[in-house]
Amino acid sequence: MGCKKDNNPGNSSASKGTLALKSGNSQSGVYGRDLTDSIIVKVTPAAGLALNKYVIKFNMAQGNGQIENILSQFYNGTIGPDGLVRIKWRLGCDNPSQKLVIYLYNSSLINLNTGVATAGPDDSVTVSATGTKPTGWARACGCGTPTYNAKIATFDKKTLYMANNGLYSSADGGINWYKVTNAPNWSSITDVQFNSKGWMYILTNTGVYYTQDQQNWIAINNGILYPGSPTMFMVTDNVLMVSFYSDGPYLSTNNGGFWQKLLVGYGSQRYYLAKQAPNGSIYLFNDWTNFLTSANNGQTWQLISTTGQTVNYAAYDLQIAPDSSIYIGSDNATIANFSPARNQWTYKSYYQYNASTQAVNNIQFYNNKVYFLVNTSPNAGVYNGTVNNYTKINTGFTATISYYFVKPDGTFILGSGDGFYYHN
C-alpha cells in the first residue's frame, strides 16, 4: 500500500518545531524596567530541520513592554546551539497585568525584513508578569531611545507629540507613548511643529506633510527638487521654511502650495536653525556659522556680526524669546543673547576642559525664563534663568541628560542613553 502525500505539511504536527517555556514566568517588576531574570524558552526543531531554520517573534498581548530593545511585534532570530533563547523583557507602563506571547516560526514562512508571516507559527507560549508603578525618575514606554534630533511638541498642552525617527503621541504626560501610525514616511520623521491653528507639520526624508485633524495628511512639496537629509524646518502662520543637506533653503508663503528656492549667498550650501521673530524678520545660520537675517521673507539677507565668544565655532540652537531677543547655543558650552533692537550681545560660557566637544542646545522658554542644556561638560545639565543670570537645575536625575522638554506644568521629560524619563 502506497504512502499518501501530505498536501499541507504546515498543518502536520510531525513537521512542526516546538517551543517550551523553561523559566522566567510569573515575575514581578517595575514599569519601564527589565525583569530581573531572562525568559528562557527551548526550541526543538522538526525532524530534518536545523535550529537556524527557525525565528522567534514576539507579541505584547497585554501591556506596552519591549523585548531586548526591539519594539513590540517584531522578531529576534537568535537561537543558541542548545536550542535555548534568552529574552530580556522590559515591562510596559500601562497595565499591572502584562502578557507576552512568544512564537516559533519556520523562517521560510516569514519575511525577515518586515517580520510579516505568510502562515501560522509552529508553536507558541505565553508568559505573564506583574508590573508596579515606580517612584522618582522612571523610564517611559513605547518610544525607544533619543535620537540626535529628538523633539517633543504640543499644541493643546494635553497631548504631547514626539518626532524621534517616527512620530509618537502621549496623552498621560509622557509616561506611555504610542505610534501615530497614519503619519506618512513614518520612520524618517525628524521634526514636528504646529501653527497657531493647531495644524501639525512633520518633516521627513521625502519632504513636508501636514494635517488639520491628525487623520488626513497632505504632502506639500511642490517646487522642492531634492528632498533628503533635512537640516532645517520652520513653521509659522504665514511662512514655512525648509532646507536639506543638498538642496535649499526653500520658503513658502501659501502653506506649501509652492516653495521658492532662496539665494542666500555668503558662499554657503547648507542652512540651519531658521526662526521668525514677531516683527517678521527671519534669522538662520549657514554652514560657515554666518548669522544671517532677512526682513523681506528671504529675498535679501544681511550678515549679523558675531565673535568667537558670542557664537563659538558652530551654532547648535537658535530660539527667539517672547521679548524678541535671540538666544543662541554654540560650542565651548556657550549661551548667548542678542538684542536686535539694541544690536547688543551678552554671553556666558560654561566650558571646562575635558577633551570633549561641549555645546549648548535645546533652548526653551517657560514662565518668563530661558532654559537650555549644557552637554558633555563637567557642568553638564539643564539650566534656567534670565540673561546672564542662569542657575543649574537640580533635577535629581543621575544619568547623562541628552534631551529635555519642559511640560506645560513645568515638570520635565528627560532623554538619556537608554530612553526617555518622567518623574513619578
- Rg over alpha carbons for the chain, rounded to the nearest Å, is 26
Separation of alpha carbons 394 and 413, rounded Å:
14
The number of helix segments (H) and strand segments (E) in the chain equals 0, 38
Residue 73 pLDDT: 52
In 184-270, the DSSP E strands lie at: 191-194, 200-204, 207-211, 217-219, 230-235, 240-244, 247-252, 260-261
Residue 267 pLDDT: 87
Best CATH choice for the domain 17-133 from the list 2.60.40.2410, 1.25.40.10, 3.20.20.10, 2.60.40.10: 2.60.40.2410
Strand partners, 209: 202, 219
187 φ/ψ angles, rounded to the nearest 5 degrees = -70, -10
- Residue that is written with C-alpha cell 547655543 in the block: 329
- pLDDT tens string, the chain, 424 residues long: the values are 444 333 344 445 558 999 999 999 999 999 999 999 999 999 999 999 999 999 999 999 999 999 876 654 556 657 889 999 999 999 999 999 999 999 999 989 988 777 788 999 999 999 999 999 999 999 999 998 999 899 999 999 999 999 999 999 999 999 999 999 999 999 999 999 999 999 999 999 999 999 999 999 999 999 999 999 999 999 999 999 999 999 999 999 999 999 999 999 998 889 999 999 999 999 999 999 999 999 999 999 999 999 999 999 999 999 999 999 999 999 999 999 999 999 999 999 999 998 788 999 999 999 999 999 999 999 999 999 999 999 999 999 999 999 999 999 999 999 999 999 999 9
CA distances from 120 to 47, 101, 105, 109, 116 (A): 19, 14, 8, 8, 10
For the chain, where do the domains classified as CATH 2.130.10.10 start and end? 138-423
Residue 115 pLDDT: 77
CA distances from 397 to 133, 143, 380, 419 (A): 18, 19, 12, 13
Separation of alpha carbons 325 and 279, rounded Å:
12
**22: CB partners within 8 A, 6+ apart:** 40, 41, 42, 84
Residue 258 pLDDT: 97
Separation of alpha carbons 264 and 241, rounded Å:
13
Strand partners, 293: 283, 302
Q: Are strands 75-76 and 54-62 parallel, antiparallel or unpaired?
A: antiparallel
Separation of alpha carbons 339 and 248, rounded Å:
28
Residue 4 pLDDT: 37
Residue 75 pLDDT: 62
Side chain identity, residue 225: L
In 297-375, the DSSP E strands lie at: 302-304, 315-320, 326-330, 334-339, 344-349, 359-366, 369-375
For the chain, where do the domains classified as CATH 2.60.40.2410 start and end? 17-133
CA distances from 141 to 134, 178, 361 (A): 13, 9, 25
Separation of alpha carbons 105 and 120, rounded Å:
8
Residue 8 pLDDT: 40
Best CATH choice for the domain 138-423 from the list 2.130.10.10, 3.90.1280.10, 3.30.230.10, 3.30.70.80: 2.130.10.10
Separation of alpha carbons 389 and 335, rounded Å:
11
**423: CB partners within 8 A, 6+ apart:** 136, 137, 138, 396, 411, 412
Contact, 32 vs 91, CB < 8 A? yes
Separation of alpha carbons 1 and 113, rounded Å:
45
Q: Which of 295, 292, 291 is nearest to 307 (CA)?
A: 291
137 φ/ψ angles, rounded to the nearest 5 degrees = -75, 135
Q: Which of 215, 160, 159, 217 is nearest to 185 (CA)?
A: 217
